[in-house]
Structure 1
Amino acid sequence: MQNRDLTTLTTIAATGSFRETAERLNMTLSAVSMQMKSLEATLGGALFDRRSRPPALTPLGRAAVTAAAEVLSAEDRLRRLARPGAGLSGDFRLGLVASAGPRLLPGFLVHVTTALPAARFTFRTGLSEVLEQDVASGAVDAAVVTATGVPPGGLRHRVLATDRLVLAVPRGLSPDAPFLHFAPSTGIGKLIARALAERPDLSARPRIVLDHVQTIRACLRENVGATILPEVDLHGLSAICEALPVSRDLVLVIRAGAPLDAHAAQLADLLTG
């Protein structure tokens, strides 16, 4: 079965005439007839009632026209995806650190369908070092992570935002209250550890390791402990905040030469726009 046979079938259905179909498709009448007989043999049933003039579609023929139109429409979509100048096309997997989702995803989802109509995105959250490894291995196509230095070989970083780190201490917090340290093995966790090393008053406190920013925020609201986080993650809290001389870069990481690499600037604009 050839798609050209399906084109001929749908054209016959539209015109109601083998002869007009032959003229439209620049074919001979006998070629149109032979194509339809071949299609009937492939499908194992009559598509036309040839006792009438012109031949009328049978119930099988009407169903075949509907199915053929769906096949030809899918073929057209495939051709449009791959045509030169089509822009970014395909299904892409985007990773994000959990704290970046509420900040970046709503605006991205509002604008991406208009800006990149041939691209579809699915999302997953994770820790920075895991997501960066996933980009390197091809498990995800790009990710938003905290940068901790020069990207590993084969990856590129594009800065989306620079956030200063802030010490947050609830009012009236006991001197013995713990320090709430976000996942020390992650990108942001390592930056927090660096800032913590410069503060003996904090590093002497008992330490509780947590891997969810929202859990740390809940603990701050209940005066459970102090923490260091990017300022953007502390909005709305009544804790006493002190800006620190340390900042984190939130970056878009993409494999060099991957399909998204050529569209990195546009993708970054959609994430930050």
Structure 2
Amino acid sequence: MSIRMLKTLLAVADHRTFSAAADAVAVTHAAVSQQMRTLEAEMQVALFDRSGRTPQLTPVGRAIVTKAREVVKAYDNIVPSVLGDVGLQGEILLGAIPTSLTGLAPLSIALLRKTYPDIRVHVQPGLTTPLLLQIERGSIDAAIVSRPAVLANGIGFLDVAHEPLQLIAAQETKSDDYLELLREMPFIRFSRDAVVGNTIETWLQSKNIKVNEMMELEGLEAISSMVLANLGISIVPTQSVKQFSTLPLKRIPLPDGAPVRKLGLAFNKDSPRKRLIEEIHTALLEAVKIGVFQPQSFSADEQK
């Protein structure tokens, strides 16, 4: 048995098929199949039920996957745990919600690598709920997410920023009354698959505000572009790290009591990479302190 085989087993568990796992670990489908048969022979158990078109993990296989995650995490942490700060190097898989990808994520990663140049950050975009599931499965190390109402017991959460919701409208919109705009203008909805989309919908219902929904989109950039074209208005979070060049839109604050998006870094409480996760959190807080993403410089002193 080898760590490589265990990592392939985890890839199969996470990606559901041998073909998808092969792509994830950069080997052929035949190599994945051979590794799994070798693993079964060495362990003398059936990891997969092969009676259907797609092999499925057996109950024993699922139990072994759980233990394999612990073994792989411990293996990956051998050098960092011995070297301390010197071990802050290598690869980390960081999830990030779409709204963080144009400001907060790139600035914080740049700040992190300025301090620890040997760290390689691989970014996995996604919405909060799928990213939290990936953390639980061990597919990613941590993720920049919106805090949901409930977190699984094994998930830790470090606050990064509180982002008030605001109404955005085209500059040519005459009214500045948020209630009038919501009732009369077409509404471009933030995806309800996102935590912030559900937060917005809950607030609208609590205020008995009925909107004329025109479309439902996932990304802040897409929503902002539609609003810029005067196709409707929307409610979005105020970005804690703004882009250097922002679209010329009206940005109207919502009244007191309106919800705030809580942005933070989620991670597995049993992660062996807590030291690195702490450094990522520090970089995120520094990025929020800077407040604006200016690609030409990542020095806090130069961006103030």
> TM-score band, normalised by the shorter chain?
0.5 to 0.7
Aligned residue for 1:84, secondary structure, equals helix
Q: Deviations over 1:18-60 (max 9, x none)?
A: xxxxxxxxxxxxxxxxxxxxxxxxxxxxxxxxxxxxxxxxxxx
2:213 match: 206
Does residue 221 of structure 2 align to residue 222 of structure 1? no
In structure 2, C-alpha distance between the alignment counterparts of 1:211 and 1:231, rounded to whole Å: 16
In structure 1, C-alpha distance between the alignment counterparts of 2:206 and 2:126, rounded to whole Å: 28
1:71 match: none
In structure 2, C-alpha distance between the alignment counterparts of 1:255 and 1:248, rounded to whole Å: 21
What amino acid does structure 2 have at the position aligned with 1:84? L
In structure 1, C-alpha distance between the alignment counterparts of 2:101 and 2:87, rounded to whole Å: 25
Does residue 246 of structure 2 align to residue 247 of structure 1? no
In structure 2, C-alpha distance between the alignment counterparts of 1:228 and 1:198, rounded to whole Å: 15
Does residue 196 of structure 2 align to residue 196 of structure 1? no
Could you tell me whether the CA contact under 8 Å between 1:166 and 1:230 is conserved in 2? yes
Q: Which runs of 5+ in 2 are unaligned?
A: 1-77, 176-180, 287-304
2:160 match: 160
Does residue 269 of structure 2 align to residue 256 of structure 1? yes
In structure 1, C-alpha distance between the alignment counterparts of 2:268 and 2:129, rounded to whole Å: 15
In structure 2, C-alpha distance between the alignment counterparts of 1:265 and 1:183, rounded to whole Å: 30
What amino acid does structure 1 have at the position aligned with 2:200? I
Q: Give percent identity, aligned residues only.
A: 21
Could you tell me whether the CA contact under 8 Å between 2:169 and 2:228 is conserved in 1? no
What amino acid does structure 2 have at the position aligned with 1:242? P
Change beyond 3 A, Cα 1:266–1:257: same
Q: Deviations over 1:81-108 (max 9, x none)?
A: 6743324343210010111022223323
2:83 match: 84
Could you tell me whether the CA contact under 8 Å between 2:163 and 2:237 is conserved in 1? yes
In structure 2, C-alpha distance between the alignment counterparts of 1:185 and 1:194, rounded to whole Å: 13
1:119 match: 119
What amino acid does structure 1 have at the position aligned with 2:197? G
> Which structure would you say has the larger Rg?
1
1:129 match: 129
1:37 match: none
Bigger CA drift: 83-92 or 161-170? 83-92
Could you tell me whether the CA contact under 8 Å between 2:237 and 2:261 is conserved in 1? yes
| The one of 241, 249, 264 aligned to 1:238 | 249
* Equivalences, count: 194
1:239, distance to aligned residue in structure 2 (A): 2.2
Return the TM-score normalized by structure 2: 0.57
Does residue 190 of structure 2 align to residue 182 of structure 1? yes
Within a 5 Å distance, the mapping from 1:2-81 to structure 2 comes to: none
Change beyond 3 A, Cα 1:249–1:231: same
Aligned residue for 1:163, secondary structure, equals strand
In structure 2, C-alpha distance between the alignment counterparts of 1:107 and 1:216, rounded to whole Å: 22
1:176, distance to aligned residue in structure 2 (A): 4.9
1:97 match: 97
In structure 2, C-alpha distance between the alignment counterparts of 1:183 and 1:204, rounded to whole Å: 15
Change beyond 3 A, Cα 1:231–1:105: closer
1:264, distance to aligned residue in structure 2 (A): 3.1
Aligned residue for 2:259, secondary structure, equals strand
Change beyond 3 A, Cα 1:141–1:196: same
Could you tell me whether the CA contact under 8 Å between 2:90 and 2:119 is conserved in 1? yes
Aligned residue for 1:95, secondary structure, equals strand
Say what the alpha-carbon RMSD is for the aligned residues: 2.6
Aligned residue for 2:249, secondary structure, equals coil
1:253, distance to aligned residue in structure 2 (A): 0.4
Return the TM-score normalized by structure 1: 0.63
What amino acid does structure 2 have at the position aligned with 1:180? I
Could you tell me whether the CA contact under 8 Å between 2:214 and 2:232 is conserved in 1? no
Change beyond 3 A, Cα 1:218–1:105: same
In structure 1, C-alpha distance between the alignment counterparts of 2:207 and 2:214, rounded to whole Å: 14
Change beyond 3 A, Cα 1:114–1:83: farther
In structure 2, C-alpha distance between the alignment counterparts of 1:193 and 1:130, rounded to whole Å: 20
